[in-house]
Every structure is written in C-alpha cells, then in structure tokens.
Structure 1
Amino acid sequence: FASETFEYTIAENIASGSYIGQVIATDDDPGNLLIYRITAGNDQKIFQINDAGNLSIDDADGLDFESQSAYTLTVQVSDGLFNDISLVLVHVKDVNDAPVITLSLFPRVPAIQGGSLHSLALNTSGTVLSFGYNQHGQLGNDTMIDNLIPAPIFGVHDFVKIDTRYYHAIALQNDGSVWTWGWNSKGQLGNGETTDQFAPMEVTGLTRVSGVSAGAHHSLALMSDGTVKSWGANTSGQL
C-alpha cells in the first residue's frame, strides 16, 4: 500500500453510491492484477471497494453520526500470490437533522391538521393541542403568543373533530356543538363579527352537527340530517 493508513471524512447524509476516495496499492510487477477487499469493520455493509481501490458508499441508510461517528476498515489487497493490508479511517460529519415534534407526552393523537403557519392535534381524550404562529389567535390559547411546543387550547375540551386552514380553526364537540377561533376578517368564525377571536367560542344556532371543515376564509358544518351550513367569504361562490 502507498500508506499504512488512509483517512477520509464524509457527511452523515451522503447518498448511496457516492465516491469517498481511493485506496492506493502498488506492485513491483506491473503485470499483476490487484484485488481489493474490505475484510473487517464493515459489518453493516455501508462501504464497498472496487478493483481499482475506489472506496464508496454501498448503503447509506446505516450512517448516523449520533450512533457511530467513525469507522475503521481493514482493506486487503492481493496480487493472487501475496497479500497486504491497510487501515482506512472514515470519519462521519454531523449534519443537523430536521426537527421532529413528538406528542409522546400526551395521549395518542388520532387527528392532526395544519394551517398556514400553525398546527392542531386532537388527542384521544378530546383535547385540542396547538402550536406554531399565533398572530390572529389561531392557537386558541387566549393570547397572541406563539406556542413552540404543543399545548392545550383555552377552556374547552371533549372535541371529536378538528380542522384549520390559513389562520382560523373550527372544532366539533361530542355533543354536536361547534367552536371556532382565530382570524375573522370575513366572518369565518360565524359569530356575526369580523374581529379575531383568541379563545374558542361556540357558534350559536348550530345543533346536531356531525362534521366541520375550514376553508381559507369560510367555514362549513355538516348537519346530522345531511344538510350543510356555511358562513364567511363568498367571493368565489364557496358558500
């Protein structure tokens, strides 16, 4: 080998098939064909080497800086008669992983809805959790303060369905009542006004509702008799 040790650094998000570097060996007889093999340190089959000594990624799925930040590979070269070995040190560089929000602190979550810059989650106990941007009160926490982690909305629970679009939300309680909160510039909250609502409020005049849906600037309620009631903006006939 040209060196007893070869050393390389790769990013943990490198793609399968990517070239890492060349492990170089020489032979006094130029007519001999050199065969390279990784003989140790590659139990996960992450790396591969070809007959030219080119080291590359075989399966990148096993790479994770947090699990293993470096690999020591033993590479053997043979001309068919004699063998030699060299060590290849591969350092894995940390790459910031995309953040993952977990709701494991709460009961199981059967429904999640996303608005423009916020999200809602309904857990199995009927509580609505909200997180994200809150300029128009779309988190329903009775403030204009953003939630960086999921937190229950203000005051009410026992919900069975939720929906949110843009900056307002609508939710259905198990008694068939409907509650809304957030942006209200077009009357999409159904309270007869156009001011934003920072905490959930019940939409009066609706009973025995079986489904709800939020549009960008309007809302819909499916009644138990199959009829639909609508309110809010109607610039494109959405009502």
Structure 2
Amino acid sequence: MKKEVTMEYRIAIDAMGGDNAPHEILKGVVNAVNDDDSLQVVLIGDQEAIKKELKDLHFNKDVEIVHTDQWITMDDSPKKALQEKPNASIILATQLLHQGKADALVSAGNTGATVLAAAQNLQMIEGIERAGLAAIYPAARFHNPESHGFALMLDVGATLHCTPKQLVHFAYMGNYYASHVLGIERPRVGLLNIGEEETKGGETLVKTHQYLKNAPGIYFIGNVEGKDIPKGVAD
C-alpha cells in the first residue's frame, strides 16, 4: 500500500495588511487552519490586537506571532512608507521568507509596498528583469475542451512599461506556475492584444509575438483578445 505523504507548509501572514485588518485577515487564517491541520502560520503584526481577535474568534490553537508596531496602510506611499517604517509587517514577512523561516507569504495589503518589499528582500529568478503580478480569472470550460476552468494573467500591475524581453519573461514565469502549481501539463500561452493577427498592436507587441513563436518550452498559441480570456482560449 502506498504511504500517504502529508506536506506541511509554513505561511507568513501580514496580519495588518488590507481593509479591516487584522479582523478580516485573521478570520481567513482561522478558517484555513481549521480546514487544514498541516498548515502552519506565522502572524506578523500588533501582538495584542492579534491575540484579542483570535480570542474573539474562539481560536485556541498555538500560533506564532512576530510582533511589530509598524504597518503600511492602503493610503501610504509604498516607497516612502518602506523607508519610514523599516519594521513594517510586510517587510518582516518578506524577511522571514528570505531567511527560510516561511514557505510562502500572504498579504492583502498595499500592493505597491508588497512588491517593493519582496524586491528588497527576495532574490529575483536568474535572468528575469522585472517582477510580475499574476491574477487567476475564471474561464468557461464549455467554450473550449482544453480549458481548465481558469486562466492565469500576468503582469497585472507590477510593471507599467514592458519591453518585449520582459513580456517573454512573464510568459515563462506564467508557464512555470501553470504547469507546476496549477498542474496543467502543457499550458497554452497567449499574448493579450487588440487582435489575433501577428501585425496587431504596437512595435513592442509585434516583436514579443515573434519572440514567443520561437521561445523554447513555450506552447504559444498566438495573440488573444480580452474577450477570449473568459472563454478559456489560453491558460
């Protein structure tokens, strides 16, 4: 009989990041931990406030808390806030990840601050020039038999102006995530554009299309339009 292997993951949680934090954040943490006994969390934030919320939520399990009295609000300027709040919860969370004391990081807080904190404390993948934000969108299966019910899109806001090379980098990162995390054997990679023809879009998109056609290890299906995303045309 094959022995079942249980993986244990240690997740750093920015308890002070996001709307109505820490209450809403900790509600999610409690639900997740109660659903998965193998899940371990490290909560970063105001220790007194966190303990009070956990008590109100009737959560009695032992959980590690890294205390700080600094955090970044949704209205803070990301760059300025990181400089003025060196012990902000999101900074401490990324440091835990860098030190190998956590396997992943979750924050619902200031997106710009999260990206900058990650860039400061985590190494970029060798050869990759820019960080990318990814979002998963629902995709209808009935439009395409190859659809997996969702589509991964990146970048969705970390980089304002991209070069063709950087867009190809995003394609490789998305391809890896789709295959290794989402479990898609051969992800279909599309280039979001204003039309399906190779000559559509500006110079950047036309060059990117040519690069992706010849990119090794990428199953490139060509340009896709915004209306194609919910149809499950690409992964």
Q: TM-score range by the shorter chain?
A: under 0.3
Identify the structure with the greater strand proportion: 1
Structure showing greater radius of gyration is 1
User: TM-score, with normalisation over the residues of structure 2?
Assistant: 0.23
User: TM-score, with normalisation over the residues of structure 1?
Assistant: 0.22
Between the two structures, name the one with larger relative contact order (CA 8 Å, sep ≥ 6). Answer: 2
